[in-house]
Amino acid sequence: MRYGRERRALGRVGRTLMAWRQRVVIIGGGFAGVAAAKALKNERVDVLLLDRQNHHLFQPLLYQVATCALSAAEIAFPIRHIFARQPNTEVVFTEVTGINLKARSVETTSGPIDYHFLIIAAGAETNFYGHKDWAEAAPGLKTLDEALEIRRKVLLALELAEQETDPARRRELLTFCVIGGGPTGVELAGALIELSRGLVRRDYRHIDPSEISVRLIEGGPAVLRTMTESMQVSARRQLESLGVIVHTGSRVVSITSDSLGLIDQDGTPQTIPAATILWAAGVRAVPLTATLGVPLDPGGRVPVTPSLNIPGYDEVFCAGDVAACVDAKGVNVPGVAPAAMQMGKFAAQQIVRRLQGMEVRPFVYRDKGSLATIGKRRAVAQFRHSRFSGVIAWYLWLVVHIMFLIGFRNRLIVLTQWVWQYVTSRGGARIITGISRGHLEWPAQPRRLGRIPRRGGAPEPSEAEPRVVQATASGGPGG
């Protein structure tokens, strides 16, 4: 009897220990954070996913929102809906303000949150390399708000140019400069030239498409520096065939609301009048990493161990853009979506291995290739042993991006939009919102609009002839 009582008591203790679950806190609902949370779906852990946005954003298609090809809802998906059927995961809408590694606590606007394991996947922000004053004149492209701001700037420039008659101001309004020759800059420049010229040819009456100038500014010797030389040459050739003017070896020295200052590769200073300047020249880790109290690299990233841990903290992992990682094969892991997803999933797997008392493994990055679209039927694709450009690369780009979109509804809508644009050459809705009319620079010399003729066909008085208004006895204008 005594043995039976002891056995039942041990059974109760065992069940209590099994019911005590470890808490895994994940900061960030981007590619790395979502991949990590999904990998913990069937594990006996409680997952808290923290994000200051309520949506997961498919950033590779953000430039299509900026250029009116897609709407915001087509590349964003509610984070809560992603994990609605994952009982062990709770989504918390909050902003993380600091991390106390020694106390195992995350400071948020909703209060402190303790953790047993932590995955930091907070992402990156636009890097202006010390020139914060450039941010207002040259918006980056990392969030939906920035994409919508770019869309607003582009469409407003066209609307104002439609009325402008001053040649200098008109040239300024119809010049678009993209700074940065990486995938984002290349895709944005190609989409801008197709949008502006196609839209102008069809919808505007007083702008000649040949007046529009799109310039891509790259400080290095070539665009798409992470690709092979043949792909770099092909990308530049395809951009120039669209009409994009490519500046390589050019250093940006000044940005204002109406001009861009450059030093060309031969050392010659140049000023380009432009009302729309867009920044795609680089990113850095979010400022949150500065609260960790550990050494950071120049881009604000955390140098991690081969197992993606912060040195000295085996319970804390970094994934995605916040991690400066050299994998087990000596490869510098790039800040791209496939790498972020691999790192997020790997961090989750290492947590499970630790809970099971198993030895952790080093991270090995699997390079799945690089893709960049330049315009309709124009793209470059680079895989381990294969290179494609033109139409084939463009179709590959379409397939890959449709596959990685979250949600069947999003895939179907985006595919339908792309097919429609391919067949009709028409983009999405070009709606301008959030205009502060008091801050608009209206044309100094507006186009003279048609006048309404008087009764009997007599024309209205010319601007040089002042209209004489008779006053009535009450002081109002006479009729």
Helix 229-242 crosses helix 183-203 at what angle (to 10 degrees)? 20
CA distances to 180, 190, 277, 425 from 62, in Å:
16, 14, 17, 20
Angle (CA) 51 56 60, round 5°: 130
Q: Find where tokens 């161990």 sit.
A: 305
Six-digit token pair at 206? 């007083």
The full 3-state SS of 152-174, as one line of letters, equals HHHHHHHHHHHHECCHHHHHHHC
Is position 159 annotated as part of the catalytic site? no
Read off the DSSP letter of residue 429.
Answer: -
- How much is the CA Rg of the chain, to the nearest whole Å? 28
Instruction: Print burial letters for 176-197: b (CB count within 10 Å at least 16), e (below 16).
Output: bbbbbbbbbbbbbbbbbbbbbb
> How far is Cα 215 from Cα 272, in angstroms, rounded to an integer?
10
Whether residue 214 contacts residue 196, with contact meaning beta carbons closer than 8 Å, is answered with yes
Q: Find the catalytic residue in 162, 164, 172, 187.
A: 187
Q: Which residues are catalytic?
A: 187
